[in-house]
Amino acid sequence: MKSPAPTPPEDAPDATAANWAVRRDRGLSAAESVEFELWLAANPRHAEAMARATNAWTLLNRIPEATANQVT
């Protein structure tokens, strides 16, 4: 089993939210879902950061594959 990525300091909710956005995209285990919900409920700033991360992840998913694969 792969160990989880280190969690950034609590004063970095955007970095943690970005990590959660990626992890949620690949699918969370039951334990990870609980961990996510606990993190989300721990601070109102977490929900705000998660909204930003989810929006960014959604925008990234809209990039056409051919464009994403281009090497400059």
Q: What is the pLDDT of residues 23-72, one digit of tens each?
A: 999 999 999 999 999 999 999 999 999 999 999 999 988 888 888 788 66
Return the sign of the alpha-carbon dihedral for residues 59, 26, 33, 35: negative
The pLDDT score that the predictor gives to residue 42 is: 96
Residue 38 confidence (pLDDT)? 97
pLDDT at site 60: 87
What is the Cα–Cα distance from 7 to 42, expressed in whole angstroms? Answer: 14
